[in-house]
Amino acid sequence: MLHRLQAAARLCILLGSLAAAACTSPLDALTGPSADELASRAFAGLASSRVTHLSGSFVNAGRHFSLDCTVSRGGDAHGAVQVDDRAYELLVSGGQTYVRGQQFWSGYGDPGVARLYGDSWVALQANAVSTLGGPAGPCAVARALPDRPLQMKREGEARIAGKPAVELSDSGGRLYVSNDGQPRLLRMVSGRGYRTPDGSSDLRLDFDYPTRFQVAAPGTFIKPSDPQSFPAHYLAEGVKIGRCDASGCALTASVRNLAGPPAGQSTATLKLRGGDNSELGSCTVNLPAIAYQQAQDVSCTVSGNAWAAFYNNSQNRQYFARVTVQNPPYDS
């Protein structure tokens, strides 16, 4: 009997690490799986898991990443990511990546972009995350972990998040694999000099395996290529002077919306100036919601002492009107 067990074990060794996840030695019942077999089965379980939750940190392109993400085998993901001192929320659904957080956009060095996007979800173009340095999908860093040869040895027993585990090590670092009959990768701590194919290093990642995970695209989001997804951006196209007397002067401005729905209250300020550029007064009107690329007239009346004095005392009543629009969040 023993010689048959030994022959089967030698066959598994000859097949090598490619078959390690599928080939279980009959000697396991007597001695338990080898360190390499445990690691191979754990990595195979990671690759085949329908849902994986990972948290921890790594370094890529000189930037320090920390994350707490849940990822499906199909590539959907949702979690919190921090790159150096910039934190943001990441969501991947149906192959499209979305981010939310002003700190993410501050990495571009333009405070206007961060102010404009605010805390809205933004649909990214391909590889947009990597423009800040680092992998295109930080939550997918675990996909590259099994891509290395294994020469593991057992280091002893451990507990990870309350679960019994076996500690394994090789030149690439340390693995902590569950010790409950179904080897699962619970923690990885990379060694000095180890890098994944995407260039990540200094990995310290914890894993668990939720049974359910659902994620959907945000209900509303900004798509940089679609002006209608941006906050309303009103443009004054002209101003007309209506009926004027000593009590006041009616002004009307035509305003067009170059983007989407309002985000905050936009206003138009209409001003009167004399022919010598002296200020004669102003009035401000709240702008209504106007559809994309549609225009609407808004009106208000300038009155007050400056206008009354000008109207009553000027022999040559030369004056003109101007309009300025305040567009939050475009304007500081």
CATH number for the segment(s) 227-326: 2.60.40.10
Which tokens hold the place of 235?
Answer: 């443009």
Which residues are 178's β-sheet partners? Answer: 165
Q: What is the dihedral of CA 115, 117, 121, 127, to 10 degrees?
A: -110
What is the domain partition of the chain in residue ranges? 2-50+144-208, 227-326
Higher pLDDT: 24 or 59? It is: 59
- Whole-number Å distance between alpha carbons of 59 and 204: 10
Give the residue, 93 or 126, on which the prediction is more confident: 93
For residue 19, the one-letter residue type is A
d(CA 121, CA 106): 15
Per-residue pLDDT, averaged over 279-303, amounts to 97
Q: In sequence order, which residues have a C-beta less than 8 Å from that of residue 130 and are 6 or more positions away?
A: 136
Residue 256 has a pLDDT of 98
Contact predicate 204/58, CB 8 Å: yes
pLDDT per position as a tens digit, 166-217: 999 998 899 999 988 789 999 999 999 888 888 889 999 999 999 999 999 9
Model pLDDT for residues 225-275, shown as the tens digit of each residue:
999 999 999 999 999 999 999 999 999 999 999 999 998 899 999 999 999
Q: Name the least confident of 8-22, 68-82, 248-262, 298-312.
A: 8-22
Q: Which residue has the tokens 């400056």?
A: 306
- 234 burial level (CB within 10 Å; 0-12, 13-18, 19+): buried
Q: Which amino acid would we find at residue 89?
A: E
